[in-house]
Chain A
């Protein structure tokens, strides 16, 4: 039976992070899911933009390490380009710096460059060849729907992803909302959202949280 999938951002990021040599479970699960395509792959424009933002952030995480390697007095997270980084991102930059602090900036930059190229290429290949439908511009997401969802989900980005999924789901057979979210798109949380009376007119995608429904 054909199973169409609508993807949340983190599934794609985990898919691209997969490497046989590292083999982190969540990376492998996402990689395997995407590779074993059995139906249409649907992406909304909001998720596409989010993926591009994350790619950009990853470059900045690496660049912060390079800036510190070039100038030891530089404090990671203090540059104009690093304004987009969260505290969590900065922790990753610091971990990388600790690993390479005795090496030359040029050498490490080259290693980062190759690592990013592998990561980005997987995403670019996915977007070019795997995604069947790229739908709903950001400005087409219903503001009222986002407001309702925001009263149930305290994460604005998740509201936009779900709002997009609900709008796309409207006139088509039920597809899977594929996610690795640990909070809102977990069975109990998702059921709670579905039960809200204000959302009764919406057809909900079926939740497929890869953290639970391992394939």
Chain B
């Protein structure tokens, strides 16, 4: 009797372990990209029905989700809460990120006698990755470059993993922290944009700056929007057309003497546009990394819904700004400067046919 109970417990333990093994194998298979049930079963040498059953359990546990579900095919994606847009990273890279995060937090506390904030941590990590030429993914996003794994100073990143060149990395981290002279997060961002010679980000920062006086420095506002347009990428073309539309509306509102009256609406549109542009920059910088070079997959599996939401937001806000402009439109003439007249001279018989 006791022997039988012992036997069934033992079977239970073996069975459970094997179930866990299958689940872990499924999660590992999904480490790189979303897969169908068939693709997973081929990868882990398990039959379709078993994989399907365990996927259902993993779904209930919140570890995977159905990305595409049609009658013919179901694609499953591993839920990765610690990376931007759940873009997958390998366990090995995750360990390395944790190691760097932990090292930076440690050194920051030693040198600055306080915890770094999110931006400080992200920027030191990015600089370290660049200087030490570490094989860890970073990308440009809303506030400059970020590690693909989300930084959170409040989290415990302690890890047993230590790089063989730990001493060298530590020195790099210390140098970067000591070089940081900012007195605010805004200043740190500006330092970062200048360091990486990114005029578009520098201009964006100035446009949103509280120091920009829209009442007194109207010319400066116009120049900044123009600079933003000049430095905005043309690819995909919609980035140019959206940015040009905003810049044109800003100029036309200025010509009607209504620029400052609609500062808030303009800044809302600029913010929506920036979120859309920076998502494009996120994608374009990510696909330069070998593991993420398949643009179609990265876009389709992870970024398409975000693109849609942000595109809609910028289109709506620009449409609103255009309505404001049209409602203020009068027959007040815009005076062409001598240089603009030269342009008109050349374009005067242009019809665009």
- Tell me whether B336 and A59 are in contact (CB under 8 A): no
How far in angstroms is the closest Cβ of chain A from B23? 45
- Tell me whether A89 and B352 are in contact (CB under 8 A): yes
How far in angstroms is the closest Cβ of chain A from B295? 14
How far in angstroms is the closest Cβ of chain B from A29? 13
Q: Which residues of A contact B329 (CB under 8 A)?
A: 121, 124-125, 128-129
The 8 A CB mask of A77-104 against B (1 = contact, 0 = none) is: 0011100001011001001100100000
The 8 A CB mask of B256-286 against A (1 = contact, 0 = none) is: 0000000000000000000000000000000
The 8 A CB mask of A47-71 against B (1 = contact, 0 = none) is: 0000001101111010100110010
Query: B143 an interface residue at 8 Å Cβ cutoff?
Result: no
Query: A114 an interface residue at 8 Å Cβ cutoff?
Result: yes
The 8 A CB mask of B12-26 against A (1 = contact, 0 = none) is: 000000000000000
Q: Which of B204-255 contact A (CB under 8 A)?
A: 222-223, 226-227, 229-230, 234-237, 240-241, 244, 247-248, 251-252, 255
Q: Which of B140-198 contact A (CB under 8 A)?
A: none
Closest to B340 in A: A115
How far in angstroms is the closest Cβ of chain A from B254? 9
Closest to A81 in B: B237
Closest to A11 in B: B351
Query: A13 an interface residue at 8 Å Cβ cutoff?
Result: yes
A117 to B341, CA, bound (A): 13
- Tell me whether A86 and B353 are in contact (CB under 8 A): yes
Query: B346 an interface residue at 8 Å Cβ cutoff?
Result: yes
The 8 A CB mask of A1-44 against B (1 = contact, 0 = none) is: 00000000110011001010110101100000000000000000
Given known contacts A59-B244, A92-B347, is B352 in contact with A114 (CB within 8 Å)?
no
Given known contacts A27-B348, A114-B334, A120-B248, is B230 in contact with A109 (CB within 8 Å)?
yes
- Tell me whether B351 and A14 are in contact (CB under 8 A): yes
A contact residues, total (Cβ < 8 Å) = 52
How many A-B residue pairs have C-beta atoms within 8 angstroms? Tell me: 130
Query: B49 an interface residue at 8 Å Cβ cutoff?
Result: no
Contact pick for B241, options A10, A56, A117, CB 8 Å? A56
A59 to B251, CA, bound (A): 14
A19 to B352, CA, bound (A): 18
Most-contacted residue by chain B among A24, A89, A115 (CB, 10 A): A115
SS of A interface (majority): helix
Query: A111 an interface residue at 8 Å Cβ cutoff?
Result: yes
Query: B350 an interface residue at 8 Å Cβ cutoff?
Result: yes
- Tell me whether B248 and A118 are in contact (CB under 8 A): no
A128 to B351, CA, bound (A): 21
Most-contacted residue by chain A among B244, B330, B351 (CB, 10 A): B351
Q: Which residues of A contact B350 (CB under 8 A)?
A: 13, 17, 58, 61, 89, 92
- Tell me whether B255 and A117 are in contact (CB under 8 A): yes
- Tell me whether B255 and A63 are in contact (CB under 8 A): no
- Tell me whether A114 and B351 are in contact (CB under 8 A): no
Query: B345 an interface residue at 8 Å Cβ cutoff?
Result: yes
The 8 A CB mask of B117-147 against A (1 = contact, 0 = none) is: 0000000000000000000000000000000
How far in angstroms is the closest Cβ of chain B from A9? 8
Q: Which residues of A contact B226 (CB under 8 A)?
A: 106, 109-110, 113
- Tell me whether A117 and B252 are in contact (CB under 8 A): yes
- Tell me whether A110 and B347 are in contact (CB under 8 A): no
How far in angstroms is the closest Cβ of chain A from B47? 47
Q: Which residues of A contact B227 (CB under 8 A)?
A: 106
- Tell me whether A10 and B351 are in contact (CB under 8 A): yes
- Tell me whether A22 and B230 are in contact (CB under 8 A): no
Instruction: Please give 5 more A-B residue pairs, beta carbons under 8 A apart, in addition to A19-B344, A22-B345.
Output: A19-B336, A21-B344, A79-B235, A99-B342, A115-B344
A-B contact pairs, 22 of them (CB 8 A): A17-B347, A17-B350, A19-B341, A21-B341, A22-B348, A53-B352, A58-B347, A59-B241, A61-B347, A63-B234, A66-B230, A67-B234, A111-B339, A111-B343, A113-B247, A114-B251, A114-B340, A117-B255, A118-B340, A121-B255, A121-B329, A124-B326
Residues of A within 8 A of B (CB): 9-10, 13-14, 17, 19, 21-22, 24, 26-27, 53-54, 56-59, 61, 63, 66-67, 70, 79-81, 86, 88-89, 92, 95-96, 99, 105-106, 109-121, 124-125, 128-129, 157
